[in-house]
Each structure stands twice: as C-alpha cells, then as structure tokens.
C-alpha cells in the first residue's frame, strides 16, 4: 500500500512540553510539507522540504522545528515556544515534476492540556 | 501576497441538484490551481488540478474551470449525492513559488 502515514492520530501535550509528530511516505516523493489547520480556517504552511537535508520555513514556522534526514520521513516537533499549538496538523508530499498534485496524510490532532 | 477566498462558506442542497462552488484569488500570476475535498477529521483528497495554461479539467461529475485574468475558478458538481457532503478547498500555487495558498473552504451538505 503506497501512501502517507501520520502518527499518532491524537496527541495530548502538557504546557511546556515538546512533542514530535511523525510523517512517513513510501511514494518516493521528493517534496514534503507540514500544514496547520484551525477550525474554520484554511491550511497554513509551517515548513517544507524539497530534498533530503534541506528545508525552508513556511508562513508560520515560529515555535516549530523539522528535520529531513531520510527521503521517506519528515517529522515535525512542536516546541514549548509555540504558544497556541492546539490544532489539526497535516503532512503532504509531492513528486518533483509530474502532475504537481500534493498528497495528504490523515492528520494528527494535537491538544494542549 | 496571494490571497484565496471561497464563497459561500457553507451550502446546503437537495440530492440531485447541480451546484457551483467559487474560488477567487488576488494575484493572477499562478502556476496552477487545485481543488481538494476534506471529510470531517480527515486529510485532504485532491480532486482536480488545473495548470495555468488550461481553462478547465473534468473528472466524472466534477468540472473545474479557471479564468486567470479575472482571478476566478469554479468547481461544478453535477447531480449531487449525499456522499458529496464534505468541505471543498481551493488552493493556488503562484508562479515561482513552492507554496500552496489555501482558501478557507466551502462546507457542502447534500440532503437525501
């Protein structure tokens, strides 16, 4: 089965804690993305990576960090510096060239207790 | 800065009706435009992608059009079904940018 997996589906964080959201794809896609979605809002780009060992900030990168050590994996860490982290987080990937369509994972819902 | 607006925010129709969802964008220098579907609590599913050089794309009962000069796209759904109930998101990739800019979506309810 090819696709994008995100884990966990639900995540609860205490204030002051860092948490890491997992995103894995077996589609052999070069580019990967992290978005945040708040109720009634469109998706906002946090970070993206076009190749291994390289990534760029999106529109709302403050309080987040990423790594891209492998083509298949693009984990997102939500740090304690992110003041309002409760949201739905979506990971996506896209092949370089081709149709340019982005393929999305099922999402992780993060709640701060 | 590219901004994407979707109107209406919510739409309720009886089953079988044809309907149109609207998307407008402020900067006409786009690379492509995509329509996505999102079911509650789920990820996004790509429906149609229109390149900047294209005027429309069709997939089954769905037809998306693009008018770059006026900064508009429409998603036409024919013979709507209750299974079409979802939130539909429009996203624009501007020329020279890697990013997609999303609208807030239109929540569609198709009543049996």
Q: How sure is the predictor about A97, in pLDDT bands with cuts at 50, 70 and 90?
A: confident
Report the pLDDT value the prediction gives residue A98, as an integer from 0 to 100: 65
- Contact across the interface for B89 and A50, Cβ inside 8 Å: no
d(CA B111, CA B11): 11
Token digits of residue A90: 């979506």
CB-closest option in B42, B102, B105 to A106? B42
Dihedral sign, CA of A78, A102, B13, B110? negative
* DSSP codes joined into one string, B9-22: SEEEEETT--EEEE
Contact residues on chain B for A88, CB-CB shorter than 8 A: 41
Q: In chain A, which among 9-38 make CB contacts under 8 A with chain B?
A: 31
Report the pLDDT value the prediction gives residue A1, as an integer from 0 to 100: 56
Contact residues on chain B for A104, CB-CB shorter than 8 A: 36, 43-46
pLDDT digits (tens, 9 = 90+) for B19-66: 999 999 999 999 999 999 999 999 999 999 999 999 999 999 999 999
Kindly compute the dihedral angle of the four CA atoms of residues A101, A106, A111, B4, in this order, to the nearest 10 degrees.
30
Give the pLDDT mean for B2-6.
96
pLDDT digits (tens, 9 = 90+) for A4-32: 999 999 999 888 899 999 999 999 999 99
Half-sphere exposure of residue B18: CA atoms within 13 angstroms, side-chain side? 6
Report the pLDDT value the prediction gives residue B96, as an integer from 0 to 100: 86
User: Mutate which of B35, B90, B93, B100 to disrupt the A interface (most A C-beta within 10 Å)?
Assistant: B100
d(CA B110, CA B108): 7
CB B55 within 8 A of CB B66: yes
């Amino acid at each position: 089965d090819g696709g994008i997996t995100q884990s966990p589906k639900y995540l609860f964080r205490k204030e002051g804690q860092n948490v890491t959201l997992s995103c894995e794809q077996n589609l052999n896609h070069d580019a990967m993305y992290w978005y945040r979605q708040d109720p009634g809002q469109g998706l906002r780009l946090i970070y993206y990576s076009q190749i291994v060992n390289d990534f760029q900030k999106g529109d709302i990168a403050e309080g987040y960090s990423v790594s891209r050590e492998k083509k298949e994996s693009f984990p997102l860490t939500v740090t304690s510096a992110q003041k309002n982290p409760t949201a739905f987080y979506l990971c996506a990937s896209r092949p370089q060239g081709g149709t340019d369509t982005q393929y999305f994972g099922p999402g992780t819902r993060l709640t701060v207790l | 800065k590219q901004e994407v607006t979707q109107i209406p925010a919510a739409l309720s129709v009886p089953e079988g009706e044809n309907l149109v969802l609207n998307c407008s964008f402020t900067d006409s220098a786009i690379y492509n435009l995509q329509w996505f579907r999102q079911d509650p609590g789920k990820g996004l599913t790509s429906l149609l992608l229109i390149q900047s050089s294209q005027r429309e794309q069709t997939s089954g009962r769905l037809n998306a059009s693009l008018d770059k000069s006026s900064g508009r796209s429409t998603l036409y759904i024919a013979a709507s079904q209750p299974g079409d109930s979802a939130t539909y998101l429009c996203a624009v990739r501007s020329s020279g940018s890697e990013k997609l800019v999303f609208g807030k979506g239109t929540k569609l309810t198709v009543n049996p």
